[in-house]
Structure 1
Amino acid sequence: MSETETSETTSNTANLVALDPDGYAPVNHPGVTVPEDRRCWSVSWPEYTPTDITPPELRPSALAAHVPAWAEAAPTPAEVHDWRRRRAAALVPFKLDERGWPLHPHGRTGRTGRNLGKWGENQAADPIVAAGNSEQRWVLLITRDDIGTEAIPGGMVDPGETAPAALVRELREETGVDLADHRPTILGRDVVADWRQTDHAWITSTSALYQLPARVTAIAADDALDATWWPFDSLDQLDTAVTAAGRTLYAAHRPLLQRALDHLNQP
């Protein structure tokens, strides 16, 4: 056995320790390690055994008894029959494997199963609200009630809803700030490195920047524990302020916040 094979076996064995009797890992399990040269789906890796992080309420036996309001009923992607429509509507193009299962656009994640509402792409909307000017700028963040970190107020796009409508709705629901009469700048439509992503279910986000002349009153609601204006002249400044308050900045939103800063700092 080669050194590489030994390392992979050790990694996979370590991951198995955390599995429950049915073979599922905790939903926050990091999964097996995926070397960069094996991340691409076109690279053959017959020994690849990703860790299943499906939570109890989305496992086949649970779905047969009750389907959560936020989730689709399909226990596996094989029971989804509208992949042509989903692929056509996707923010980020993705492929299907030989079984007809959706493949994460960025390659192997080390994890399988589903810890999101749908198989394949799950669209989210992330409104970034900045206030002030170049002399003193602020950004509005919420404290998420699921993982307790400081994050952009946002969430999943509802069935039949557009991303622009979701931006306004999520901001209003989580902070009480209504910017329906403002036109934001769309910063991007990207795959988000969300902690729930797997090989077959992931999040893409429409991120948009709202610019206000001054801070407005924000009150946490819905799934936000708090809504706070933070200094936002740079990502380092934001990090320092959040850390000093004993909080943590949600890692998946760092690239989105940096993109907003890049736009705001354009000459």
Structure 2
Amino acid sequence: MIDEEKGAVFFQYARYFLHGTVSPTPQGMRFIRKAQDILRSRDELLCEMRDQLEEMGTELSIGVPAVTGGYLLPPLLKAFLKKHPNVQVQLTEDSPAALEKMTENGTVDLSILPLPIENDRLAIRPILTEPLFLAIPNERENWMTGQLRKLMDSVRPNAEKIPLALKTAEDVPFILLKEGYGFRRIVLDLCAEEGFQPKVTFKTSSIETAQSLVEHGMGVTVVPRMVMRQGSDRIVYVPLQSDPSRTLVFAYPETCYLSRAARAFMETAKKNQTSMYEEV
């Protein structure tokens, strides 16, 4: 048995090795893995005991990519906090890759992430699936191919109703998200399915920045419906013939205890899915 004082020292050193910059030996790595399991079990037990004593936990930490969170979370949080006003919600914004690690390690209770999820130690629960569109400048640009110019001239102002093959964007400047963003992989996979690699001229960590570049005639990009700039007269959103989509999910540690607050938050999303999506 480890007494309270020795236990505190143990956990202090374990956390240091887990999150510090020291390069451990193989024996040290074994210690770290064991310590990580102990720390996780300890945190889960404390959370579970607190849940048994309280009707609802008082804290909930959620990880979310910045842009997705800005569109999806406000109506969802409003509905959740209306029913559970005493829960303090902490938001962490980061890239999907970073959030997967935070979720696995318990830094956040759960995260809202786009599929695919790379970490097989995370369980998922679907939130919604939405279509993807090709975003094109509404004005002619010198870089536009003859096919794209002809298409734009012939379908404007009904471009948003006529599906387009993504391969039409094969030879034009393409704006893509940076490494570490799940949506980047979705777009690259779509291009690969149509037999081409996009000519990437700009990489960004923000879909909002990507759309601004499109509005200023710098290229094209693919966006989910959620982030479309409704009412913009400088950008056209064209549906794609392959009818692609992306799915957002809740991700949480598969083998860890999930707090009542986290479960209640996911149930809120399920019950408010339709109205939530209409607001974003």
Larger radius of gyration: 2
Kindly indicate which of the two structures has a greater share of residues assigned to helix: 2
Give me the TM-score of the superposition, normalised by structure 2: 0.24
Give me the TM-score of the superposition, normalised by structure 1: 0.24
